[in-house]
Amino acid sequence: VANINKATEGKDEVPILDLMESAIEAGPGFRNSGGGHYNHAFFWSEMAPPDEAAKTKPSEQLQSLIDKSFGSTDEMKAAFEARAAPGAVFGSGWVWVCVNQAGDELKLVGTPNQDNPLMKGAVEEGIIFPILGLDVWEHAYYLKYQNR
Amino acid sequence: MILKALGDKAVRAATVHVQSSKIPTELAKSSTALFSAYSGGAATLPDLPYDYNALEPAISTETMTLHHSKHHNTYVTNLNVGLEKLDAALSSGDVSGLIALQGAIKFNGGGHVNHALFWENLAAPDSTTVGPETTAALAASSFGDLATLQSTMSAQTVAVQGSGWGWLGYNPQSKQLQIATCPNQDPLQATTGLIPLLGIDVWEHAYYVDYRNVRPDYVKNIWNVINWNAVEERLIAAKK
Amino acid at B15: T
Angle (CA) B226 B238 B150, round 5°: 30
CA atoms within 13 A on the CB side of B136: 8
The predicted structure's pLDDT at residue B169: 98
Q: Is the CB of residue A27 less than 8 Å away from at least one CB of chain B?
A: no
Per residue in B181-196, pLDDT tens? 999 999 999 999 999 9
- Lowest-confidence segment of A15-19, B111-115, B174-178, B187-191 by average pLDDT: A15-19
Name the minimum distance, in Å, from the CA of A64 to any CA of chain B: 34
Q: Is the CB of residue B65 less than 8 Å away from at least one CB of chain A?
A: no
The predicted structure's pLDDT at residue B32: 44
B44 backbone φψ class: left, alpha, beta (φ>0; ψ -120 to 50) = beta
A129-135 sheet: strands from edge to edge: A106-112, A93-99, A129-135
**ipTM score assigned to the predicted complex:** 0.91
Per residue in B62-101, pLDDT tens? 999 999 999 999 999 999 999 999 999 999 999 999 999 9
Q: Is A91 helix (H, G, I), strand (E, B) or coil?
A: coil
* Nearest residue, CB atoms, B103 vs list A90, A113, A138: A90
The predicted structure's pLDDT at residue B40: 54
Q: Is the CB of residue B191 less than 8 Å away from at least one CB of chain A?
A: no
Q: Could you tell me if A76 and A66 are in contact, meaning their C-beta atoms sit under 8 angstroms apart?
A: yes
What kind and span of H or E run contains A78? helix A73-84
Q: Inform me whether the pLDDT recorded for B38 exceeds 70.
A: no
Are the beta carbons of A86 and B205 separated by less than 8 Å? Answer: no
Q: Is B6 helix (H, G, I), strand (E, B) or coil?
A: helix
Query: Which residue(s) pair with A86 in the sheet?
Result: A89
What kind and span of H or E run contains B195? strand B195-201
- Please enumerate in sequence order all residues whose Cβ is within 8 A of that of B67, keeping only pairs 6 or more positions apart, or say none: B115, B201, B205, B206
Q: Is the CB of residue A110 less than 8 Å away from at least one CB of chain B?
A: no
Average pLDDT in the B114-139 region?
Answer: 96
Q: Inform me whether the pLDDT recorded for B18 exceeds 60.
A: no
Strands A106-112 and B176-183: unpaired
Q: Is the CB of residue B124 less than 8 Å away from at least one CB of chain A?
A: no
Q: Is the CB of residue B218 less than 8 Å away from at least one CB of chain A?
A: no
B164-171 sheet: strands from edge to edge: B176-183, B164-171, B195-201
Q: Could you tell me if B120 and B232 are in contact, meaning their C-beta atoms sit under 8 angstroms apart?
A: no
Residue B194 CA to residue B109 CA, distance in Å, equals 17
Of B217, B204, B215, B226, residue with least CA distance to B149? B226
pTM: 0.87
Are the beta carbons of A138 and B71 separated by less than 8 Å? Answer: no
Q: Which residues of B touch A92 (CB under 8 A)?
A: 162-163, 204
100-119 in B: which are within 8 Å (CB) of A? 103-104, 107-108
